[in-house]
Structure 1
Amino acid sequence: MQIGLHALGIGDGARPEVIRAVASTAEARGFARLWVGEHVVLVDEPRSRYPYAADGSIPVPADADWLDPLLTLAFAAAATSRIELATGVLLLPEHNPVLVAKQAATLDVLSAGRFTLGVGVGWSAEEFAALGVPFARRGRRTAEYLAAMRVLWSDDVASFEGEFVRFEGIRVNPRPVRDRQLPVVLGGNSEAALRRAATLADGWYGFNLPAAEVAAHVNTLAAHGARLDQGPAGFSVAVALTDGTPDLLPALASAGVTELVVVGAPPAAPHEAAAWVDALAAHWLHPAH
């Protein structure tokens, strides 16, 4: 099983020198992938409930630095050469899909084909309102945006007509490195999110999930048609756990998990951030027996 790291873009993890230290050290120690999440805006007193914590509160101060994930990963790509990169997740319905298609393909080219586009539908009505995007039907919007982006990546001259996006006879270059497509991972832990992941994406990213619930979620993915157990070209299952320990790795692999994502906040000093990654690698990649 692969081990990924979700640690960049927020707070001290938004400092360029820390990004460079964490990314280069994670690559050197054998982490498989760097994940970076997104919120365009936060509010001091949200009415929307954060779905990944029992108390419904996002554990990030509203005044914390939170970098754009695509720009953060581009910076990390320049500091590395092998480690994979993924948005975990980009809130796709908040963006223009033509622009995201170009940005994502650009990042894939600049990273020599190391990028996976992780997307989600979002949960903050206040964020959607600030961006002037309807909160209702955001799942349907996400599905249509993904369909349009795949057309843009694959066709030399692309046309698409849907409810939310239309274009005719346009060229959007560059193209993704791998056969004019990007692997797409869909995030979210709800039944609707699992259905979307299984039917629309190449993988699923479950975030802040108790280990005891993983097998049931994977079974739900399979019930919705996810292409599990089909090797490298099959459906990827990445999870970040609330209670993960290295001794759980064999059981997670047996359940169908392909990547365990370690979530953490690095310290502010670059040398301390590198040592922090070293400690994570010793714990997760080379656990004592």
Structure 2
Amino acid sequence: MRFGIALFPLRPHQLVDVAERAEQLGYDSVWVGEHTVTPVQNDSSFPYAGEGDSGHDAFHANLPFYDPYAVLGHLAARTSRLRLAVSVSLVPLHDPFHIARSVATVDQLSGGRFILGMGAGWLREEFEILGKDFASRGKRFDESLDVLDSLFDDDVTEYRGEQLQVPPVSMTPKPATRPHPPYVFGGHSKAAMRRAATRGDGWLASDLSPDEVARGIRDLDERRAAAGREAVPFEVSVHVTGDVSRAVIDEYRDVGVDRLVIRPWVRGSKAVAAIEQFAQANQDFFAPVLSGR
């Protein structure tokens, strides 16, 4: 079992402090979310609200979202081993060219430590404000993946789709990781599971129970086998909020989870102490680093 840290919603100096200490302690990765616009009012249903939460307390307009690629580029210069993940980039909100440039830049600057988490998005109002059609986001997502694959690996990219039309173009530099950094798809919908199984290197679930994750893994295994991808390396990560006890860790590990992404603090000022305490409480996972080996 590996452990990543969700950096939201830390202040700028706390982002650096937590990332540097996490690397020293032996954490695997840090994860930064993305939203471009957070409307003051929305009627969208937040898909990751906790039990009994309407969602508007968990997601509101004043949440401090930084540009994830800028944050991860900065952290790349302050770390040397830590994996750097965006969780998740809302691909249909953007053109694939800016995403490709950002991904290649961070992956190059970090020496191949970048993880590209991707999702379709759930906040209809964000799409409307940015002039993007919400209903067609799935098709635009799939076509953007086609374009990203080509930009990352081909000398010349040309594409003719329903949503995207790309004349011959080229992009340099390519990512340090070839043919591209790991694609990790977030979400629990059928479309998200399809993309993870047929195009992904990993799946990121959010606040699902071990039993729910186990069902998801079985679904992914069936889809991957049908696509002839069962031999392709694949990681399952789960973002877990709240207290993460050893019993909880063992339950997730037993159903096949490779990584838990945690945020074991309530106040950002206590974040460094909280990740130290978590590592000490689960030192058998962190022992090689904590002992200096």
Q: Compute the TM-score of the two structures, normalised by the length of structure 2.
A: 0.88
Secondary structure of the 1:133 match is coil
Shift in CA distance, 229/156, structure 1 to aligned 2, threshold 3 Å? closer
Q: Quick check: 2:3–2:29 contact (8 Å CA) kept in 1? A: yes
Quick one: distance in 1 between partners of 2:69 and 2:256?
Answer: 28
1:261 CA drift (Å): 1.1
**Equivalent residue for 2:119?**
120
Change (3 A) 1:242 1:152: same
Q: Which residue of 2 aligns with 1:219?
A: 218
Deviation at 1:120, TM superposition (A): 0.3
- Distance, in Å, in 1 between the alignment partners of 2:279 and 2:60 is 28
8 Å CA contact retained: 1:211, 1:241: no
Paired residue type of 2:262: V
Distance 1:179 1:35 in 2: 21
| 1:208-258 residue CA offsets vs partner (Å, 9 max, x unmatched) | 21233111111111121168875xx51111012357432233442332211
Q: Which residue of 2 aligns with 1:99?
A: 98
Moved more, 48-57 or 256-265: 256-265
Report what 1:259 is aligned to: 259
Which of 12, 18, 40 is equivalent to 2:36? 40
CA gap of 1:253–1:114, structure 2 versus 1, over 3 A, is: same
Q: Please state if 1:129 is matched with 2:125.
A: no
- Could you say what secondary structure the match of 2:76 adopts? helix
Q: Following the alignment from structure 2 to structure 1, what is the Cα–Cα distance between the partners of residues 282 and 87?
A: 20
Counterpart of 2:271 in structure 1 is 273
1:34-87 deviations in Å (ceiling 9; x for gaps): 011111111222200001114341514422321011111111111111000111
Question: Contact conserved, 2:46 with 2:59, CA < 8 A, in 1?
Answer: no
Distance 1:257 1:168, change over 3 A: same
Q: Which has the higher contact order (CA 8 A, sep 6+)?
A: 1
AA aligned opposite 1:41: V
Matched, 1:178 2:174: no
Partner of 1:5: 5
2:274 maps to amino acid: W
* Aligned CA distance change for structure 1 residues 241 and 125 (closer, same or farther; 3 Å): same
Q: Give 2:34's aligned amino acid.
A: E
How far apart, CA to CA, are the structure 2 residues paired with 1:285 and 1:188? 30
Partner of 1:25: 21
* Pairwise CA distance, 1:203: 1.0
The alignment partner of 1:31 has SS state of coil
Give the alignment of 1:68-217 within 5 angstroms: 68-217=67-216
Segments of 5+ residues of structure 2 without an aligned counterpart are 286-293
Q: Greater shift after overlay, 242-251 or 62-71? A: 242-251
In the superposition, relative to structure 1, how do residues 63 and 137 fare at CA in structure 2: closer, same or farther (>3 Å)? Answer: same
More divergent stretch after superposition (48-57 vs 120-129) = 48-57
CA contact (8 A) 2:238 2:259 kept: yes
Contact 2:139–2:163 (CA under 8 A) maintained in structure 1:
no
Per the alignment, do residues 141 and 264 of structure 1 end up closer, same or farther by CA in structure 2, a change over 3 Å counting? farther
Relative to structure 1, the CA distance from residue 278 to residue 229 in structure 2 (aligned partners, 3 Å threshold; closer, same or farther) is farther
Distance 2:256 2:63 in 1: 35
Identity within the alignment, %: 37
Whether the 8 Å CA contact 2:265–2:271 is kept in 1: the answer is no
Moved more, 27-36 or 162-171: 162-171
CA contact (8 A) 1:69 1:87 kept: yes
CA distance in 1: counterparts of 2:230 and 2:141, whole angstroms: 26
CA-CA distance at 1:101 after TM superposition = 0.7
2:291 is aligned to none
